[in-house]
Amino acid sequence: MANEGIKVIAQNKKARHDYFIEQTIEAGIVLSGTEVKSIRQGKVNLKDSYATIEGGEVILSGMHISPYEQGNIFNKDPLRNRKLLLHKSEINRLIGVTQQKGMSLIPLRLYFRKGKVKVELAVAKGKKLYDKRADIAERDARREIDRKLKEHMR
């Protein structure tokens, strides 16, 4: 994907720590006007959010969009479920993939593309505790090697 016209609003950094990312897909999202204004201010949280497939539609749950200050009566529930916009063929493919044991749909980031709010959705498999420890050990080893190389270059 080209990064032209993309402005990242929120990222789910915990997702890459807790899951193995198999593949990603871009989806539109159904929002109200005050939600978009709140997102433009960066008042959104993807932590603990996930997507499910219900009745042929992909639904994003657990995403928190803070109420817009000037929104008064037009504000919606901050934790309401939101419909994701995907083609029928993409939804059918996701149904097949998520029926496999241990596969989940997790939003990785929320961003603007050409003025529209988009969600990067990942088909992911949960990591076990020992996988997380191995990742941390690998990251620490890489950091230590970089530090030694930097010292050696001086």
Residue 57 lies in a domain: yes
Residue 76 lies in a domain: yes
Q: What is the pLDDT of residues 101-136, one digit of tens each?
A: 778 889 988 898 888 888 998 888 877 777 778 888
Residue 58 lies in a domain: yes
How far is C-alpha 42 from the chain's CA centre?
Answer: 15
In 14-134, which ranges are E strands? 19-29, 44-45, 50-54, 57-61, 64-65, 82-85, 103-113, 116-126
Residue 147 lies in a domain: no
Residue 79 lies in a domain: yes
The structural domain count of the chain equals: 1
Inter-residue contact 74 to 100 (CB < 8 Å): no
Q: What percent of the chain has pLDDT over 90?
A: 3
Residue 55 lies in a domain: yes
Inter-residue contact 9 to 111 (CB < 8 Å): yes
What is the pLDDT at residue 75?
Answer: 66
Residue 51 lies in a domain: yes
- Are β-strands 103-113 and 116-126 bridged in parallel, bridged antiparallel, or unpaired? antiparallel
Inter-residue contact 27 to 119 (CB < 8 Å): yes
**CATH code of residue 37:** 2.40.280.10
- Give the structural domain span for 95: 6-127
What is the pLDDT at residue 3?
Answer: 61
CA distance 13 to 83: 22
Q: What is the pLDDT of residues 45-94, one digit of tens each?
A: 888 888 888 888 888 888 888 877 776 766 666 678 888 888 988 888 88
Q: What is the pLDDT of residues 25-41, one digit of tens each?
A: 998 988 877 788 888 88
> Look-up: residue for tokens 């109200």?
32
The token pair at 71 is 């929104």
> Look-up: residue for tokens 């042929």?
56
Residue 61 lies in a domain: yes
CA distance 1 to 23: 13
pTM listed for this prediction: 0.71
